[in-house]
């Protein structure tokens, strides 16, 4: 993303054709290898049960939850305050860095390693607890359950702001949208409790899905360990979950696409809402294509399977590593470079010249990681995401099919989609 | 878990207080972005002591909220120049349009188009300026940032579109024992590009150029509108007058793809692929 005034203005170099060829080859080999060589009994769901982590680790996590909650609430307040009252100039304001870099880019990367920390510290969830209690006191609580469709709506709204709207980093706009988002997620919790907020908070839902990749998770209140990626065998898919993953994946794809010269020629002659309109159509089109390919393939795969699940939900978990791989490929350098700006802004959130933590005088070091490292991280993330997706889909197919042959047959179509996604992702890294 | 809400309320109180505390520091609208490395900005200079003007880009700070130039009133402009005094030291010259120095009305109600200016050296407020000329105090050897803000009679900065009207000049005061460095720094230019902006578009479209890491690039920009060209990441600026070619020189020492754009219009001019 390039936000106004050039937050994230440094774009990555196009990857070399050699790296592209390597990535594509590895992806194809993995895919065909998977058809023959993989296990013949479902394994992930069993692996996902994991084993208890050592007691000290469990205690460490227990003790750090409260301080982490406090910090998260303070950061939320600081971000909202900066957005509403700080400098109107985006690069001097904490809020765009916190929202687009800290929240949207860095949190999923952390979740993929450390597990679903967000569900513990999410400031909106903390506010929802208060709302819930308020509802109890007023006697208007009516618990009911919800699908993930509200989350699809809220995350789509965010992606529209990030990818389509012409002035996404304007602090005041961010401030009011933060208020609106909070109201949507927290407000109805007075009546419907956290059942609502947990299904309406698109960030929390997406971050929670990504956390299935991590080797750490909590079960029965205790910290557990499991093989990385095995959590993909136990993803709870609700109505809307698949849509949320497709929207996120499509959004990131559009972000890559919008950097190509083709797209930029379309946008360059427009300004203001004209840009917004073109980007909105483009994002909807790309998300639509990504979703269509997936829906088509999952319907074909379904013919070989015995399950009551809707076809698109069967393989939804395999979209998680692909979405994360895309995210890392597109935003790794942003996290490294603009992440430094985030630290700088934390010391001076309002752009008023104060220096809370002694970092406000820092300068971004654009040489922190080399361009070669960035390129290999990009290709690696996409290829590795592809590998994990293939494995997860294969395992799912075994779970819901009568025999290995059916499972393998069902995978032809799914492999087609994944190869399509992966090659697209790699080509977008050419960026030209 | 029963104490949860009470604790939480206490926490929110803390959060709110922290927020307020920070908010007080607040909200001058400012033009600023992280400091420009303007010593790189110009290789047009050959002698040691000089002066490249860039738009103001450091920490702001007056204690008043800026006042916007009212709709329909001509917008004042300001250019700061630092000239070497033939004998010793430096003289400051302010070139203003649509602005009258009115020391006789200072500290009274603001009147659009009149007022005075505030001088900051290296971020520190030095004095009020009641006219276009000022003799700068002795400057220590090294790089100094001379910033001037236009100010209303009541000392509130003059702003247009949320940006304070200000300008900054960088002065390199030669040290006792350095004479050599700056003179040799007038680097050779490795690449020269030019770009023309006319009728709302870049003539011939936005082009991308491959540039070797570490080389020096000179870009000549001609525009039919007054604006400011901004080279992202390197954070260098150059003011554009309609029809007057402006030069921007930078050392391509950060790898990646960067863009130079018309800051006001938000239109890209050219891209560099630096590796």
Check B256 against A74: CB less than 8 A apart.
no
B209 and chain A: CB distance < 8 Å anywhere? no
Nearest alpha-carbon partner for A388 in A305, A294, A330, A317: A317
How many other C-beta atoms can be found within 10 angstroms of the C-beta atom of residue A27? 25
* pLDDT given for residue B267 in this prediction: 84
Which of A1, A74, A87 is the mutation pick for testing B, counting most B CBs within 10 A?
A: A87
pLDDT of residue B179: 42
Give the best residue of B256, B260, B261, B262 to mutate against chain A (max A CB count within 10 A).
B256
Nearest chain B CA: its distance from A403 CA (Å): 48
Contact (CB<8Å) A89/B30: yes
- pLDDT band of A154, cuts 50, 70, 90: very high
Q: Is B233 on the interface with A (CB under 8 A)?
A: yes
CB contact under 8 A, A12 and B257: yes
Least confident segment among A34-48, A117-131, B150-164, B228-242: A34-48
**Residue showing tokens 């105090």:** B137
Q: Give the model confidence (pLDDT) of A277-317 as tens digits.
A: 999 999 999 999 999 999 998 888 888 887 788 888 888 99
Quote the minimal CA–CA distance from B11 to chain A in Å. 7
- How high is the pLDDT of residue A52? 92
> What does DSSP say about strands B100-101 and B114-121: parallel, antiparallel, or unpaired?
parallel
Residue B256 and residue A91: Cβ atoms within 8 Å?
Answer: no
Report B:117-156 residues touching A (Cβ under 8 A): none
Tell me if A351 and B254 make a contact (CB, 8 A cut-off). no
Smallest CA-to-CA distance from B182 within B42, B4, B25 is with B42
pLDDT of A31 strictly over 80: no
Statement: residue A148 has pLDDT above 80: yes
Cα(B248)–Cα(B221) distance, integer angstroms: 8
* pLDDT for B50: 34
Query: For an interface test with A, which of B25, B203, B253 has the most A Cβ atoms less than 10 Å from its Cβ?
Result: B25
What Å distances lie between residue B168 and B38, B188, B234, B239, B273, CA to CA? Answer: 10, 26, 17, 12, 30
Give B-chain residues touching A89 at CB under 8 angstroms. 29-33, 162-163
Give CA–CA dist B104/A280, Å, rounded: 55
Task: Tell whether B160 lies on the interface with A, counting CB pairs under 8 A.
Answer: no
The answer to whether A428 and A286 have CB atoms below 8 angstroms apart is no
Within 8 A of B230 by CB-CB distance, chain A residues are 6
What does the pLDDT read at residue A294?
92
pLDDT tens per residue across span A371-415: 888 988 998 999 889 888 988 888 888 888 877 788 888 888 888
Output the pLDDT for position B63. 55
Closest residue on chain B to A5 (Cα): B263
B77 within 8 A of B158, measured Cβ to Cβ: no
**Interface contact B206, partner A, CB < 8 A:** yes
d(CA A325, CA A195) in angstroms, rounded, equals 30
Residue A114 has pLDDT above 90, yes or no: yes
SS (HEC) of chain A: CCEHHHECCCECCCCCHHHHHHHHHHHHHHHHHHHHHCCCCCCHHHHCCCEECCHHHHHHHHHHHHHHHHHHHHHHHHHHHHHHHCCCCHHHCHHHHHHHHHHHHHHHHHHHHHCCCHHHHCHHHHHHHHHHHHHHHHCCCCCCCCCCHHHHHHHHHHHHHHHCCCCCCCHHHHHHHHHHHHHHHHCCHHHHCHHHHHHHCHHHHHHHHHHHHCCEEEECCEEEECCCCHHHHHCCCCCCHHHHHHHHHHHHHHHHHCCCHHHHHHHHCCCCHHHHHHHHHHHHHHHHHHHHHHHHHHHHHHCCCCCCCCHHHHCHHHHHHHHHHHHHHHHHHHHHHHHHHHHHHHHCCCCCCCCCCCCCCCCCCCCCCCHHHHHHHHHHHHHHHHHHHHHHHHHHHHHHCCCHHHHHHHHHHHHHHHHHHHHHHHHHHHCC
Query: What is this structure's pTM?
Result: 0.73
Is A349 near chain B, with CB under 8 Å?
Answer: yes
A70–B19 C-beta distance less than 8 A: no
Hey, are the CB atoms on A431 and B59 less than 8 Å from each other? no
Average pLDDT for residues A328-344, to the nearest whole number?
91
Q: CB within 8 A of B180, min separation 6: which ones?
A: none
pLDDT digits over A253-287, tens only? 998 888 877 887 788 777 788 888 999 999 999 99
Find residues 352-391 of chain A whose CB sits inside 8 Å of chain B.
352-354, 356, 363, 366-367, 370-371
For strands B191-198 and B216-223, give the pairing: parallel
Does B257 contact A81 at a Cβ distance shorter than 8 Å?
no
Across the interface, whether the CB atoms of B208 and A269 are under 8 A apart is answered no
Q: How many CB atoms lie within 10 A of CB B54?
A: 23
Give ∠ CA A236-A239-A245 in degrees, rounded to 5.
75
Size of interface A-B (CB pairs under 8 A): 136
pLDDT class of A2 with cuts at 50, 70, 90: low
CA distance linking residue A242 with residue B101, whole number of Å: 65
**Taking all residues of chain A, what is their mean pLDDT, rounded to a whole number?**
88
Each residue's pLDDT tens digit, B30-40: 333 333 333 33
Inter-chain CB proximity A81 and B19 less than 8 Å:
yes
Distance from CA of A131 to the nearest CA of B (A): 10
- pLDDT tens-digit profile of A158-191? 999 999 888 888 899 999 999 999 999 999 999 9
User: What token pair was written down for A178?
Assistant: 């933060």
Q: What gap in Å lies between CA A151 and CA A199, rounded to an integer? A: 6
Polymer length of chain B = 275
Answer yes or no: do B232 and A10 touch at CB < 8 A.
yes
In order of A22, A41, A292, B74, the CA distances from A387 in angstroms are 14, 18, 22, 62
The first and second tokens of residue B2, run together, are 């029963």
pLDDT at A245: 96
Q: Which residues contact A49 (CB under 8 A, 6 or more apart)?
A: A219, A226
Query: Residue A79: closest CA among chain B residues belongs to which residue?
Result: B19
Contact yes or no for B205 and A431 at CB 8 A: no
The C-alpha torsion from A71 through A73 and A78 to A83, rounded to 10°, is 140
Which range has the top average pLDDT, A141-150, A353-362, B8-17?
A141-150
Lowest mean pLDDT among A224-238, A337-351, A359-373: A359-373
Q: How far is A77 from chain B (nearest CA, A)?
A: 6
Top pLDDT among A98 and A430 is at: A98
pLDDT of residue A5: 54
**What's the pLDDT at A9?**
74
Residues of A in contact with B147 (CB under 8 A): none
Is the separation of the CB atoms in A115 and A216 below 8 Å?
A: yes
User: Which residues of chain B from 13 to 72 reach within 8 Å of chain A, CB to CB?
Assistant: 14-16, 18-19, 22-23, 25-34, 59-61
Chain A residues 141-180 with CB within 8 Å of chain B: none
For residue B163, the chain A residue with the least C-alpha distance is A89
Give ∠ CA B230-B255-B273 in degrees, rounded to 5.
Answer: 70
Residue B267 bridge partners (DSSP): B262
Backbone angles phi, psi at A127, to 5 degrees: -65, -35
Which positions of chain B have pLDDT values less than 70?
A: 1-63, 175-187
Q: Does A11 touch chain B (CB under 8 A)?
A: yes
The arithmetic mean of pLDDT across residues A353-365, rounded, is 83
Is the CB of A370 less than 8 angstroms away from the CB of B257? no
């Amino acid at each position: 993303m390039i936000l106004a005034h050039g937050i994230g203005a440094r774009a990555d170099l196009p990857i070399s054709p050699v790296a592209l060829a390597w990535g594509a080859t590895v992806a194809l080999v993995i895919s065909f290898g998977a058809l023959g060589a993989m296990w013949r009994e479902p394994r992930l769901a069993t692996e996902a049960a994991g084993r208890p982590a050592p007691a000290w680790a469990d205690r460490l996590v227990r003790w750090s939850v409260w301080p982490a909650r406090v910090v998260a609430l303070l950061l939320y307040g600081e971000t909202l305050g900066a957005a509403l009252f700080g400098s109107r100039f985006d690069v001097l304001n904490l809020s765009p860095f916190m929202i687009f870099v800290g929240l949207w880019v860095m949190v999923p990367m952390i979740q993929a390693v450390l597990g679903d920390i967000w569900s513990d510290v999410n400031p909106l969830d903390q506010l929802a607890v208060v709302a819930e209690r308020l509802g109890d006191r007023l006697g208007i609580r009516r618990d009911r359950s919800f699908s993930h469709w509200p989350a699809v709506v809220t995350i789509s709204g965010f992606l529209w702001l990030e990818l389509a709207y012409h002035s996404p980093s304007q602090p005041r706009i961010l401030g009011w949208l933060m208020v609106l988002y909070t109201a949507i997620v927290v407000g109805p919790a007075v009546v419907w409790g956290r059942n609502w907020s947990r299904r309406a908070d698109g960030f929390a839902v997406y971050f929670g899905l990504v956390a299935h990749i991590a080797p750490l998770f909590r079960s029965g209140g205790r910290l557990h360990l499991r093989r990385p990626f095995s959590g993909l065998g136990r993803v709870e898919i609700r109505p809307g979950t698949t849509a949320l993953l497709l929207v996120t994946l499509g959004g990131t794809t559009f972000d890559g696409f919008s950097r190509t010269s083709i797209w930029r020629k379309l946008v360059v002659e427009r300004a203001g809402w004209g840009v917004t309109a073109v980007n909105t159509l483009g994002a909807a089109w790309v998300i639509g294509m990504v979703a269509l390919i997936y829906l088509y393939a999952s319907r074909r795969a379904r013919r070989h399977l015995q399950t009551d699940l809707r076809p698109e939900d069967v393989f939804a978990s395999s979209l998680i590593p692909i979405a994360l791989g895309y995210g890392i490929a597109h935003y790794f350098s942003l996290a490294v470079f603009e992440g430094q700006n985030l630290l700088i802004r934390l010391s001076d959130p309002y752009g008023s010249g104060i220096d809370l933590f002694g970092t406000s005088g820092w300068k971004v070091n654009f040489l922190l990681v080399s361009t070669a490292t960035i390129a290999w991280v990009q290709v690696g993330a996409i290829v590795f995401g592809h590998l994990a997706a293939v494995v997860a889909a294969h395992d799912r197919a075994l779970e819901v099919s009568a025999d290995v042959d059916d499972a393998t047959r069902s995978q032809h179509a799914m492999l087609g989609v994944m190869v399509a996604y992966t090659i697209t992702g790699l080509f977008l890294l050419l960026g030209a | 878990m029963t104490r949860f809400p009470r604790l939480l309320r206490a926490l929110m109180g803390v959060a709110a207080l922290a927020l307020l505390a920070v908010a007080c520091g607040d909200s001058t609208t400012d033009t600023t972005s992280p400091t420009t490395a303007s010593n790189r900005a110009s290789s047009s200079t050959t002698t040691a002591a000089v002066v490249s003007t860039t738009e103001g880009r450091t920490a702001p700070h007056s204690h008043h909220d800026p006042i916007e130039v009212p709709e329909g009133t001509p917008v004042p402009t300001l250019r700061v120049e630092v000239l070497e005094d033939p004998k010793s030291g430096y003289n400051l010259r302010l070139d203003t349009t649509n602005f009258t120095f009115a020391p006789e009305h200072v500290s009274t109600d603001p009147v659009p188009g009149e007022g005075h200016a505030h001088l900051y050296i290296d971020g520190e407020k030095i004095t009020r300026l009641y006219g276009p000329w000022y003799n700068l105090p002795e400057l220590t050897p090294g790089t100094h940032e001379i910033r001037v803000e236009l100010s209303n009679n009541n000392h509130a900065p003059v702003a247009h579109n949320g940006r304070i009207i200000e300008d900054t000049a960088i002065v390199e005061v030669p040290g006792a024992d350095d004479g050599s460095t700056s003179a040799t720094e007038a680097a050779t230019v490795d690449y020269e590009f030019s770009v023309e902006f006319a009728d709302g578009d870049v003539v011939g479209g936005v082009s991308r150029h491959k540039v070797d890491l570490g080389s020096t690039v000179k870009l000549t920009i001609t525009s039919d509108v007054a604006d400011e060209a901004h080279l992202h990441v390197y954070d260098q600026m150059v003011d554009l007058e309609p029809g007057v070619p402006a030069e921007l020189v930078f050392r391509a020492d950060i790898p990646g793809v960067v863009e130079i754009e018309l800051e006001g219009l938000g239109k890209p001019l050219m891209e560099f692929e630096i590796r």
